[in-house]
Amino acid sequence: MLLRILLCFFCCSFGAAGTPILGGADAEHRKFNHQASLQEITTNNEHFCGGSIISSIWILTAAHCVDCERIRNDIKRIRIVVGVTHLSENGDKYLVRSSKLHEKWNKENISNDIALLKTAKNIKFSSAVQPVILATHDPPDGVITTLTGWGFTSDDEGLVSNTLQVAYFEKISLKECRKQFNDAQYPGRLVIETNICITQPVAKGQCNGDSGGPLMYNGTQIGIVSFGGQCGEGVPGVMTNIAKFLKWIKDKTNISQLKQLSKIYLRLSLNSSITLTKIPQTAI
Ligand SMILES: *[C@@H]1O[C@H](CO)[C@@H](O)[C@H](O)[C@H]1NC(C)=O
Ligand SMILES: *[C@@H]1O[C@H](CO)[C@@H](O)[C@H](O)[C@H]1NC(C)=O
Ligand SMILES: *[C@@H]1O[C@H](CO)[C@@H](O)[C@H](O)[C@H]1NC(C)=O
Ligand SMILES: *[C@@H]1O[C@H](CO)[C@@H](O)[C@H](O)[C@H]1NC(C)=O
């Protein structure tokens, strides 16, 4: 059983394989209400990647999370669970209608590691389930960012965490990141302009199962967990830079004012479960 789960990780989230959060802390209950868990129905609903809710029908994740033959051939193997802090809770579950991987996603050099999953039904918003606001600009280097995930909390055990973990890391420049993350040691793991890097001290940082999850700063999602070194190795964590893919996201989801729309959902859904379809056109 364990072997099968591990194979799944290496197949569908290899970036994370080389890359829970080790050294994180339990997340406050329902605080990260935009966080989604991607689970594979056929392997005992095993959590394999993170994601974030960006609208009432779209989940944002990493391309490497959905790019294995098994899942590409049958996207209905994935279920999305939202509204939970503990994986053992009975959250809201959605099947996937379709997926969009970035057309230029390249697994050899891990570029354009971004994908969208369209849910089969509208996501019901509540205090425990909310869309995230996507960043429109890069925050400056040196700021402290927030990473959440249910990934491995120990490299040895190979088990996902039941409780969502949260940890804080400093954003560093791409130049600094490339220096620490050199090609000789990590061939094929290119740090490019469309990435964001965060420092990760030894024994702390993203691990298997955190991939596809959100990196936050000042209430907005700035990154998607893409890759790193070995878990806890002390090399930076590398993210897909949201601001660099906003146009792609807007084109694919056909939501023209994603950020503003999210704010509208947020306002309208604080005390109810109004979904996008119920918002009058004039409100948008
Ligand atoms: C990654 O590989 C693809 C295909 O070989 C290439 O087109 C692309 O330019 C490469 N990206 C980078 C950043 O090197
Ligand atoms: C944080 O977000 C608020 C809006 O929510 C904005 O007014 C403020 O300038 C942002 N701060 C930084 C440091 O980005
Ligand atoms: C996007 O929205 C526009 C205007 O609402 C519509 O004409 C167009 O067909 C939509 N495109 C897709 C791909 O859904
Ligand atoms: C939501 O409802 C609670 C209790 O009914 C109320 O105290 C609170 O002000 C409401 N919040 C908003 C944003 O309307």
Could you tell me if 13 and 208 are in contact, meaning their C-beta atoms sit under 8 angstroms apart?
yes
Q: How far is the CA of 30 from the centre of ligand 4 (A)?
A: 17
Task: Please say whether the beta carbons of 35 and 224 come within 8 A.
Answer: no
- Whether 20 maps to a domain, the answer reads no
Q: Is residue 25 part of a domain?
A: no
**Residue 15 — pLDDT band, cuts 50, 70, 90?**
very low
- Is 113 among the catalytic positions? yes
Tell whether 122 and 171 lie within a shared domain.
Answer: no
Instruction: Give the residue-averaged pLDDT of 210-237.
Output: 92
Domain assignment present for 276: no
How does the average pLDDT of the chain come out, rounded? Answer: 82
Residues in the chain, overall count: 284
Catalytic site residue from 13, 52, 111, 113: 113
In a domain, 19, yes or no: no
Answer whether 65's CB lies under 8 Å from 211's CB.
Answer: yes
184 and 44 in a single domain? The answer is no
Share of the chain above pLDDT 70, in %: 80
Within this chain, do residues 125 and 259 fall inside the same structural domain, yes or no? Answer: yes
Let me know if residue 225 belongs to a domain: yes
pTM exceeding the 0.75 threshold for the entire prediction? yes
Instruction: For ligand 1, say whether the CB of 104 is within 6 Å of any of its atoms.
Output: no
Average pLDDT rounded to a whole number, residues 188-211: 89
For the question of residue 251 being annotated catalytic, the response is no
User: For a pLDDT cut of 90, what percent of the chain falls above it?
Assistant: 56
Give me the catalytic one of 37, 64, 102, 269: 64
Let me know whether 224 and 261 are in one domain.
Answer: no
Q: State the ligand closest to the CA atom of 256.
A: 3
Q: 176 with 257, same domain?
A: no
Do 178 and 234 lie in one domain? The reply is: yes
**12, part of any domain:** no
Task: Give, in order, the Cα–Cα distances in Å from 247 to each of 54, 97, 136, 215, 243.
Answer: 14, 22, 10, 19, 8
Whether residues 238 and 249 fall in one domain: no
Helix (H) or strand (E) holding 66: helix 63-66
Domain match, 108 and 44 both:
yes
Same domain, 126 and 257: yes
Work out the pLDDT band at 280, boundaries 50, 70, 90.
Answer: very low
Burial class for 181, CB neighbours closer than 10 Å (0-12, 13-18, 19+): buried
The total number of structural domains that make up the chain: 2
Which range of residues forms the domain containing residue 175?
144-243
Same-domain check for residues 113 and 254:
yes
Q: Mean pLDDT lowest for which of 84-98, 122-136, 253-267?
A: 253-267
Q: Which of 27-41, 153-167, 244-258 is the least confident region?
A: 153-167
Tell how far the Cα of 175 is from the centroid of ligand 1, in angstroms: 19
Burial tier of 227 (Cβ tally within 10 Å: 0-12, 13-18, 19+) = buried
The answer to whether residues 195 and 208 belong to one domain is: yes
Is 226 an annotated catalytic residue?
A: no
CATH number at residue 255: 2.40.10.10
Task: Judge if the beta carbon of residue 190 lies within 6 A of ligand 1.
Answer: yes
**Do residues 187 and 56 both lie within one domain?**
no
Whole-angstrom distance, CA of residue 11 vs CA of residue 166: 25
Helix (H, G, I), strand (E, B) or coil at 221: strand
Say how far apart CA 31 and CA 166 lie, in whole Å: 10
**Ligand located closest to 140 CA:** 2
Distance CA 86, CA 50 (A): 13
Residue 219 in contact with ligand 2 by CB distance below 6 A: yes
Q: Is residue 273 part of a domain?
A: no
Lowest mean pLDDT among 41-45, 61-65, 244-248: 41-45
Provide the token pair at 188.
Answer: 């094929």
- Of 157 and 49, the structure prediction assigns the larger pLDDT to 49
> pLDDT tens, 58-91?
999 999 999 988 888 889 999 999 999 999 998 9
Does residue 72 sit within a domain? yes
How far apart are the CA of 253 and the centre of ligand 3, in A?
A: 9
Residue with CA closest to ligand 2 atom 10: 218
pLDDT value of position 256:
58
